[in-house]
């Protein structure tokens, strides 16, 4: 588990960040539609593999010391609703917010307006936990509105019955939320979202900032794995010499990249 987590972090998140995310977000207010989508989806991949990899590394190291940490990610991009996404993403924090904030506030009891208030307050405080930044707060308030809206739509029976459609709609909503979370300011977030929607037509041409098209291929492949491949907790490896050799080679490949800076996205939190 430690080797797989390290591979997520070093071989996926860091490569995508350096080759795709950082160059494009460095020109966030001047991106055209295609570049804005690459920036948004690239960060969607980066933050997942960064934090999921970090969690797997922590669990693996704990196992080596005889401790068992709970699962912290459960393929969140497969979620078919925003509520399910938060049951799958950063599970330890989500469950803490649920047990110590949402339920004491009243939870799902009472009128719809009270449930919405409880969800908004919980997500607002969760945003403050990430840091004193308007982008963190607004991104979490955005998710609070989504959660409250989903709860009301569920009561009225207005949610899509198509599972693929629900997954696609949820994923799109999550990507928009990551734009708000990644941006350095609300203006930058609105500029990227405007480009993604086609409402802005800035002078683009920043595709040359991408180190290699292989970075885009890696990011796309990694995103596909989030939907269709088993996650670390579901994967089962045969106890054979070949499997051991492959994991050892993977670990060595990660270690050889340690000379390059690889800060964790969530280190600041």
Summarised one tens digit per residue, pLDDT across range 99-125 is 999 999 999 888 889 999 999 999 988
Of 42-56, 182-196, 236-250, the least confident = 236-250
- State yes or no: pLDDT of 76 exceeds 70: yes
CA dihedral over 253, 254, 259, 260, signed as positive or negative: positive
Query: Catalytic residue at 130?
Result: yes
Q: How confident is the model at residue 34 (pLDDT cuts 50, 70, 90)?
A: confident
pTM, entire model: 0.90
Two structure tokens written together for 54: 């970090």
What does R_g of the chain's alpha carbons equal in angstroms? 19
Average pLDDT over residues 75-89: 96
pLDDT of amino acid 201: 65
* In the predicted structure, residue 147 carries a pLDDT above the cut 70: yes
pLDDT of 183 > 80? The answer is yes
CA atoms within 13 A of residue 68's CA, in its CB half-sphere: 1
How confident is the model at residue 214, as a pLDDT? 85
Say how many residues make up the chain: 269
Nearest residue to 120 via CA among 146, 141, 90: 141
Q: How many CB atoms lie within 10 A of CB 100?
A: 12
User: pLDDT confidence of 263, banded at 50, 70, 90?
Assistant: low
Separation CA 146–CA 23 (nearest Å): 30
Residues with Cβ within 8 Å of residue 20, at least 6 apart in sequence? 38, 39, 42, 210, 211, 215, 216, 219
Distance CA 127, CA 123 (A): 6
Q: Examine the pLDDT at 257 and tell me if it is beyond 70.
A: yes
Q: Mean per-residue pLDDT for 113-138?
A: 86
pLDDT of residue 194: 93
Q: Say if CB 208 and CB 26 are below 8 A apart.
A: no
What pLDDT is stored for residue 109 in this prediction?
86
Q: Is there a contact between 24 and 216 (Cβ–Cβ < 8 Å)?
A: no
How much of the chain exceeds pLDDT 90, in percent?
52
> How far is 123 from 94, CA to CA, in rounded Å?
10
Q: Of 90, 130, 150, 163, which one is the catalytic site residue? A: 130
CA distance 194 to 201: 9
Statement: residue 8 has pLDDT above 90: no
- Selection from 77, 15, 53 nearest residue 217 by Cα: 15
Mean of all residue pLDDT scores within the chain = 88
The band of 269, judged by pLDDT with boundaries at 50, 70 and 90, is: low
């Amino acid at each position: 588990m430690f080797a797989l987590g390290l591979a997520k972090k070093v071989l996926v998140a860091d490569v995508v960040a350096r080759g795709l995310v950082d160059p494009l977000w460095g020109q966030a207010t001047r991106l055209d539609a295609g570049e804005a989508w690459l920036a948004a989806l690239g960060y969607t991949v980066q933050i997942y593999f960064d934090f999921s990899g970090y969690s797997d590394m922590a669990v693996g190291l704990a196992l080596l010391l005889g401790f068992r940490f709970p699962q912290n990610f459960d393929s969140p991009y497969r979620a078919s609703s925003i509520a399910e996404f938060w049951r799958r993403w950063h599970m330890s924090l989500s469950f803490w917010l649920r047990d110590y904030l949402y339920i004491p506030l009243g939870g799902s009891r009472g009128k719809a307006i009270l449930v919405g208030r409880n969800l908004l307050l919980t997500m607002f405080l969760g945003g403050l936990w990430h840091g004193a930044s308007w982008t963190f707060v607004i991104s979490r308030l955005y998710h609070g509105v989504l959660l409250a809206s989903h709860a009301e739509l569920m009561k009225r029976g207005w949610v899509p019955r198509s599972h693929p459609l629900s997954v696609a709609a949820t994923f799109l909503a999550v990507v928009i939320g990551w734009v708000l979370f990644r941006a350095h300011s609300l203006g930058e977030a609105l500029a990227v979202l405007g480009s993604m929607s086609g409402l802005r037509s800035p002078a683009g041409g920043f595709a040359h900032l991408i180190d290699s098209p292989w970075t885009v291929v890696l990011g796309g492949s990694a995103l596909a794995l989030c939907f269709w491949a088993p996650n670390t907790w579901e994967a089962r490896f045969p106890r054979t010499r070949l499997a051991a050799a492959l994991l050892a080679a993977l670990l060595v490949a990660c270690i050889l990249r340690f000379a390059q800076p690889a800060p964790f996205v969530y280190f600041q939190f």
